Structure 1
Amino acid sequence: MGRKASVVMLSPKLREEVFALLPEGVEVRHLDEPWPKTADFFLPPFGQEEVARQVLERVEVKVVQTLSAGVDWILPLLPPGVVLCDGSGIHDVPVAEWVGMSLLALLKDLPGFFQAQGEGRWAPKVLPDLEGKRVLLLGYGSIGKAVEERLKPFGVEILPVARHARPGVYTPQDLPYLLPQVDAVVVLLPLTPETRGLVDREFLSRMKPGALLLNAGRGPVVDTEALLEALGEGRVRAALDVTDPEPLPPDHPLWRAPGVLITPHVAGLSQGFHRRAARFLADQVGRYLRGEPLRNVVLEGY
């Protein structure tokens, strides 16, 4: 290795497990320690835009490496010439598990049974099967493929939609044709000018009556007012791990909307995060030191 890399980490400190696998000689610096004048890698603390702004204004950074798959929050702060890489792959497993959990919970009416349990009601009902359902994946990156791997054993037909056409993969231009045919739509898109508000009134009106909408991407991809209307009319049911606004205020009508299951942006939070992040970061820094191409370089906003 011909270079040494200094890595500025976030504060409060990430667990040592995250950088235990880094190549020998890599210097780890934390944000609650004196900042260096230059840093090869900066791992910005997710959602702490002001901290990230200060670092990028005061430290000459070569690579900004997020541990989140989404980078919409850091893009406006990026100085010219800095390489941005996202954390795609780190969160595939837990987000895919959240999608499977939520899809089954909605399909089997778990919220309804919880309510009946709380009221002491014995309320049997005939439940639909997941087998044979058609699920549209709106976003077909590494998380989308992980979702597909977990749903296919249930006998689900997957219809993947991505930005660019390729064999077996649809594009957004196909949505008017696809939406009336599917039983569930899983939103896995990043937030970009093109995706903001993509799931709007027209989109929801094209969905099959009673279809399910799951959002594990970014809240503003879904038009909240349009979703509230569709939920209120009973045209769709939804599971949301992300919302717009976020955090969702206590008095927001989404909390009380019929047919909606809400979790507080936890799909990617898992006990295995540090282990997966450590493997990813060790590989990424090793590539940098060896002069090899970096993984997950952000182009065109994601």
Structure 2
Amino acid sequence: MSQTIWCQWSDIDLPTGFTLLHDEADLLDKSKLEQVNVYVPKYMGGAKSLAYISEMPNLKVVQVLTAGYDDVLPLIPSGVQLANARGLHDLSTAELTLTLALASKAKIQNLIYAQKENTWLRDVRHSIIDAKIAIVGYGSVGQEIAKVFRPFTDHIVGYTRSGSNGTNKIDNLNLELAEYDIVILITPLTDETKGFFDLKKMKSMKPGALLINMARGPVVVTGDLIEALESGWISAAVDVTDPEPLPQGHPLWNAPNLLISPHVGGNSTAFPGRAKKMIAAQMNRLALGEPITNVVKDA
């Protein structure tokens, strides 16, 4: 089976008969759009990369490089498969989650400021050892997050809609939030989860607890988060915001007790190599006539 694939990298190990088109600048020659059968939109390429989908008449498969696909799904034509990258970013997202937790609890920002001021700032460092942690959304990423926190604490509880496989039900979260020192959000963005974590939930958290949003920005109500932070009730760390990118002058930038990373959970030095292997594996399945994995919309 011969296929033409567009991807941002030129060094993908493709099966015999596959043709690779690529442009790291994401400026695909429009004269070649009709040749594309498999399209891998540039990672974090945004609307510009996704706009090509409607101009590919022979497209059969869209393989995104993210686990989330809510922004892509409405653009997929009938007859075209959509596959996500479930599993690709699990470990790197877990790594950043742990980084944000450690930095937030230890108030690393204060130490950086003190260093710039040549101040020998000694204070009791807050630890995550033996912390009680809730992970809201316990799919593959949530489970990987639990693994990286496990050396520090055994008090980790996953929350899912069903409450199956040893997890607690999300419906019970409000009643149990006060038990946790750290609450980590890693749910997909759906109609049900949009605005899910509001001021009521924040005020139900233990005073001084840490909220970490690794899900999607709109899962947390931004105005409520600012209010909770300004009240001093909780601290927070977010890799995602609403709106995103966060515009200059937005009040979230200057909210107290907050650490912001600009949606880089999956964008690490480990990403390109892992992504290339995943793409090559998917193309090998196509070449062998086997179903590709992680299909979230059938043709």
Give the alignment's TM-score, normalised by structure 2: 0.90
- Partner Cα distance (1:16, 1:288) in 2: 19
Bigger Cα displacement from structure 2, 260-269 vs 159-168? 159-168
Query: For residues 44-59 of structure 1, what are the structure 2 equivalents within 5 Å?
Result: 44-45=41-42, 46-59=44-57
Structure 2 counterpart of 1:41:
38
Structure 2 counterpart of 1:73:
71
Structure 2 counterpart of 1:32:
28
> In the alignment, is the contact (CA less than 8 A) between 1:35 and 1:59 conserved in 2?
no
SS in 2 for 1:269: coil
> In the alignment, is the contact (CA less than 8 A) between 2:69 and 2:84 conserved in 1?
yes
Structure 2 stretches lacking a partner, 5+ long: none
SS in 1 for 2:37: strand
Structure 1 counterpart of 2:249:
251
- Partner Cα distance (2:215, 2:112) in 1: 26
- Partner Cα distance (1:96, 1:163) in 2: 21
Structure 1 counterpart of 2:10:
16
Q: Cα 1:88–1:199, aligned 2, differ >3 Å: closer, same or farther? A: same
- Partner Cα distance (1:221, 1:101) in 2: 21
Query: For residues 1-302 of structure 1, what are the structure 2 equivalents within 5 Å?
Result: 3-9=1-7, 14-17=8-11, 19=12, 21-30=13-22, 32-33=28-29, 34-37=31-34, 39-45=36-42, 46-298=44-296
SS in 2 for 1:180: helix
- Partner Cα distance (1:92, 1:138) in 2: 15
- Partner Cα distance (1:217, 1:299) in 2: 21
Query: Per-residue deviation at 1:15?
Result: 3.1
SS in 2 for 1:293: coil
Task: Tell me how large the CA RMSD over aligned residues is.
Answer: 2.0
SS in 2 for 1:153: coil
> In the alignment, is the contact (CA less than 8 A) between 2:83 and 2:297 conserved in 1?
no
Query: Per-residue deviation at 1:57?
Result: 4.1
Q: How many residues align?
A: 292
- Partner Cα distance (1:272, 1:58) in 2: 30
Q: Which amino acid aligns with 1:41?
A: V
Q: Which amino acid aligns with 1:16?
A: S
Query: Per-residue deviation at 1:51?
Result: 4.2
- Partner Cα distance (1:32, 1:63) in 2: 17
Bigger Cα displacement from structure 2, 25-34 vs 234-243? 25-34
> In the alignment, is the contact (CA less than 8 A) between 1:211 and 1:236 conserved in 2?
yes
Query: Per-residue deviation at 1:150?
Result: 0.9
- Partner Cα distance (1:82, 1:194) in 2: 27
What percentage of residue pairs aligned between the two structures are identical?
A: 38
> In the alignment, is the contact (CA less than 8 A) between 1:219 and 1:246 conserved in 2?
yes
> In the alignment, is the contact (CA less than 8 A) between 1:66 and 1:85 conserved in 2?
yes
- Partner Cα distance (2:252, 2:203) in 1: 19
- Partner Cα distance (2:233, 2:150) in 1: 26
C-alpha offsets along residues 39-70 of structure 1, whole Å, 9 cap, x if unaligned?
43211233432442343244232221101121
Structure 1 stretches lacking a partner, 5+ long: none
- Partner Cα distance (2:34, 2:115) in 1: 59
Query: Per-residue deviation at 1:235?
Result: 0.9
> In the alignment, is the contact (CA less than 8 A) between 2:177 and 2:205 conserved in 1?
yes
Q: Cα 1:106–1:48, aligned 2, differ >3 Å: closer, same or farther? A: closer
Q: Cα 1:81–1:162, aligned 2, differ >3 Å: closer, same or farther? A: farther
- Partner Cα distance (1:173, 1:81) in 2: 37
- Partner Cα distance (1:52, 1:256) in 2: 33
Bigger Cα displacement from structure 2, 86-95 vs 255-264? 86-95
> In the alignment, is the contact (CA less than 8 A) between 1:186 and 1:213 conserved in 2?
yes
- Partner Cα distance (1:295, 1:258) in 2: 43
SS in 2 for 1:154: coil
Query: Per-residue deviation at 1:262?
Result: 0.9
SS in 2 for 1:161: strand
SS in 2 for 1:7: strand
